[in-house]
Amino acid sequence: MLLTGSLFVKRETLNQYFTFYSGTRNLMGDLSDAHTPHSATMIESGTPAKLRIAVVTEAFLPQVNGVTNSVLRLLEYCKAQGHEVLIIAPESEGAPTRYLDYKIKHVPSISMKKLIPMGVPRKFLEPLLEGFAPDVIHLASPIFLGHYVARIAKRMDIPTVSVYQTDIAGFARHYGLTIAHNTLKKWVSRIHQASDITLAPSKWACRDLETSGVKNVRLWKRGVDLVKFQPSRRDESLRANITGERDKFIVGYVGRLANEKRLSDLAILDQQKDIQLVIVGEGPATARFKKELPNARFVGYQSGTELGRYVASFDIFVHTGKHETFCQAIQEALASGVPVIGPDSGGPVDLIDHGVTGLLIDTADSHALLEAVETLRSHSSFDLMQIAARRAVEHRTWDYINAQLIEHYRDAIFEISRKRGLVA
């Protein structure tokens, strides 16, 4: 089959894009993205091997999202490595007061159009931080709470590392809030300009921040649970239950069911009799999407090994959101050996190796979307793409990713110490 138009620029067969991993291909290619830290110098200069870290996050349990997930993996790593952590997070019903025996201090929270809960700063945070005396402050997807703490950190001369994770300005633009989009973009830029180091999960996000005037932006990707998400979790009985034991090609989506995820773009697939669409997740737009995708199987929120079982049982994973700074669900699909079709924009561009682990297209183009699915399902090298998907992420464990993060902390500490004249 020849692919033209939105799928590929060149008129070449898909075989030429299924380059697959040869012995000379660098499977650890994104390791070169890691910034070389000053850790050896810092340890010699007196920086403690065990750090005191204040983690200030705009989202935490019981709310489950990408920000929460990344913070939880960080806390687990810190516990295993012996670092001391204080957690500051927005309050919510059922919120824990401790996690892994780390203390959690809550602040009030508000929601913006029921989209993004945000912590409200309180004056007690300054004496709280002064008493804890952190070596570094981690700002997880900072907005109001994170910006307030960043200003405190400047006054107290505490290094800060902020993690850019949510494109709130892009969400505002999607909802037609042009003024809010422009204001939020400037606001996010101002927040990260106040940080000593800003970590972004994709090259697109790095460029976006740098264009907005943010300095010292570094690429820091996300880890993936290679045990929970693996090809061996594919379950034929689950597939039979999903399809009603009919011979159908299963196309799946995992994520929050919200308008900005653009699940309506999947309508063309939902109309195909030989394709079964499976939607995993919940959200404010669930009722709307059920009406627009009447033939899809909505299985609700899944987690743990059950989520891994669903993802591994897909034939193809499709993601249609265009405001993703990264998209962890894509990485989990790849770990499960499931090829991915995603938008040729934002974070997915870094995750999907076009023609090797999936396809990057304009997912809003229904013709291109259907053509992409039909091309993959019928191609003779589809099994190689499944293998390549897993291999693309099998090195990216959370331990590896969080070890990088600790070195970014040490870099920030080193720079503050250098400015004080404490190190050469």
* Cβ-contact 394, 231 below 8 angstroms: no
Residue 77 maps to a domain: yes
Query: DSSP letter string over 91-103?
Result: --TT--SEETTEE
Residue 32 maps to a domain: no
Q: In this model, does residue 384 exceed pLDDT 50?
A: yes
Q: In this model, does residue 27 exceed pLDDT 80?
A: no
* Cβ-contact 236, 200 below 8 angstroms: no
* Residues 272, 276, 281, 284, Cα dihedral to 10°: 30
Least confident of 64-68, 203-207, 395-399: 64-68
Mean pLDDT of the 264-275 span = 98
Residue 34 maps to a domain: no
Runs of H (alpha helix) within 266-397: 267-270, 286-292, 304-312, 328-335, 348-351, 366-378, 382-393
Instruction: Take residue 116 and report the two structure tokens written for it.
Output: 């993004």
Grade residue 48 by pLDDT with cuts at 50, 70 and 90: confident
Adjacent-strand bridge partners of 162: 139, 198
Q: 91 with 239, same domain?
A: no
Picking from 116, 225, 217, the residue whose alpha carbon sits closest to that of residue 164 is 217
Q: Give the chain's length.
A: 424
> Which residue range forms the structural domain that includes residue 124?
45-223+398-420
Q: In this model, does residue 42 exceed pLDDT 80?
A: no
Picking from 127, 138, 148, 122, the residue whose alpha carbon sits closest to that of residue 52 is 138
In percent, the amount of the chain with pLDDT more than 90 equals 72
Grade residue 44 by pLDDT with cuts at 50, 70 and 90: very low
Tell me the average pLDDT of the chain.
Answer: 86
Separation between Cα atoms, residue 333 and residue 229, nearest integer Å: 7
Burial label, 32 (beta-carbon count in 10 A; 0-12, 13-18, 19+): exposed
Q: What is the pLDDT of residue 66?
A: 84
Residue 40 maps to a domain: no
Adjacent-strand bridge partners of 139: 56, 162
Q: What is the pLDDT of residue 195?
A: 95
Q: What is the pLDDT of residue 60?
A: 94
Grade residue 26 by pLDDT with cuts at 50, 70 and 90: very low
Q: What is the tens place of the pLDDT at every residue in 121-139?
A: 999 999 999 999 999 999 9
Q: What is the pLDDT of residue 47?
A: 63
Least confident of 68-72, 116-120, 191-195: 116-120
* Cβ-contact 117, 92 below 8 angstroms: yes
Q: 116 with 143, same domain?
A: yes
Q: 389 with 299, same domain?
A: yes
Q: What is the pLDDT of residue 112?
A: 63
Q: 411 with 363, same domain?
A: no
Q: In this model, does residue 5 exceed pLDDT 80?
A: no
pTM: 0.85
Q: 348 with 371, same domain?
A: yes
Picking from 223, 222, 136, 139, the residue whose alpha carbon sits closest to that of residue 410 is 136
Q: 214 with 230, same domain?
A: no
Separation between Cα atoms, residue 311 and residue 389, nearest integer Å: 13
* Cβ-contact 405, 74 below 8 angstroms: yes
In percent, the amount of the chain with pLDDT more than 70 equals 82
Instruction: Take residue 47 and report the two structure tokens written for it.
Output: 């920086």
Q: What is the pLDDT of residue 25?
A: 39
Least confident of 3-7, 238-242, 263-267, 395-399: 3-7
Q: 215 with 308, same domain?
A: no
Q: 219 with 72, same domain?
A: yes
Q: What is the pLDDT of residue 353?
A: 97
Q: 288 with 259, same domain?
A: yes
Mean pLDDT of the 273-281 span = 97
Grade residue 117 by pLDDT with cuts at 50, 70 and 90: low
Picking from 171, 193, 194, the residue whose alpha carbon sits closest to that of residue 181 is 171
Query: Is cis: bond before 96, omega within 30 of 0?
Result: no
Q: What is the tens place of the pLDDT at every residue in 157-184?
A: 999 999 998 655 444 444 444 545 566 7
Output b/e per residue, 335-348; b: 16+ Cβ within 10 A: bbbbbbbbbbebbb
Residue 318 maps to a domain: yes
Residue 337 maps to a domain: yes
Residue 39 maps to a domain: no
CATH number of the domain within which 378 lies: 3.40.50.2000
* Residues 125, 128, 133, 134, Cα dihedral to 10°: -50
Q: What is the pLDDT of residue 340?
A: 98
Q: What is the tens place of the pLDDT at every residue in 244-256?
A: 999 999 999 999 8
Q: 155 with 181, same domain?
A: yes
Q: 382 with 296, same domain?
A: yes
Q: What is the tens place of the pLDDT at every residue in 88-115?
A: 999 988 999 999 999 999 999 987 655 5
Q: 343 with 415, same domain?
A: no
Q: What is the DSSP letter of 138?
A: E
Picking from 129, 166, 113, 140, the residue whose alpha carbon sits closest to that of residue 58 is 140
* Cβ-contact 117, 83 below 8 angstroms: no
Structural domain count, the chain: 2
Amino acid at 7: L
Least confident of 81-95, 108-122, 323-337: 108-122
Separation between Cα atoms, residue 183 and residue 188, nearest integer Å: 9
Residue 72 maps to a domain: yes
Q: In this model, does residue 217 exceed pLDDT 90?
A: yes
Separation between Cα atoms, residue 128 and residue 143, nearest integer Å: 19
